[in-house]
Amino acid sequence: MLSQMNVRPASCEDIDSIIELDPIAKQEPGRRTFITSAVAAGQCWVAVEAEDASALIGYGVLNKSFFEHDFIPLIVVKVSARRRGVATAIMRTLEEQCSGKLFTSTNTSNIAMRQLLKRLGFVESGQIENLDDNDPELVFVKLPTGLSSPSPSPSSPFFLHRNGT
């Protein structure tokens, strides 16, 4: 169910509220530095309640940190605002800012995010081991409209004919 909200670029005035809604940012100075830098660079977007533009309910960051491609390294939704379409709204807004491939990643254990990415048309693009113990990072991509994942050509060593030869 989508609730009434707006997604807008974050401003310096939002930083304290962003940190307040992000449990990791409350604990880790590195996360606070990342947020502050993303806001200053115009890479952070916030979701706010439609009735109260100061009531932050989520945020996301879009940058070019993944091999110079658009990449969403972080989406955070306030616990009390989950399952209301906030992450979907943030993801769609970030996607609108892109002109090419859009990448993101999540841990294998993050089932909710994996389901969201599938609903939004992202496809698995790879896996990174050893970032978190026993919880591989899955990389996803959403290709621009009109592009599709390349299929192996008949001359490729990975191409299988229908009859298995």
Of residues 160 and 51, the one with the higher pLDDT is: 51
**pLDDT over 50 (residue 108):** yes
User: What pLDDT is stored for residue 146 in this prediction?
Assistant: 59
Distance CA 126, CA 148 (A): 16
Q: Which own/partner pairs from 134-139 qualify as long-range (CB within 8 Å, at least 24 positions apart)? A: 135/107, 135/108, 135/109, 136/107, 136/108, 137/105, 137/106, 137/107, 137/108, 138/105, 138/106, 138/107, 138/108, 138/114, 139/103, 139/104, 139/105
pLDDT at 162 over 90: no
Q: Which domains does the chain have, with CATH numbers?
A: 5-142 (3.40.630.30)
Mean pLDDT in residue range 122-147: 91
- Percentage of the chain modeled with pLDDT above 90: 77
For residue 3, the model assigns a pLDDT of 58
Mean residue pLDDT across the chain: 88
Prediction pTM value: 0.83
Radius of gyration of the chain, Cα coordinates, nearest whole angstrom: 18
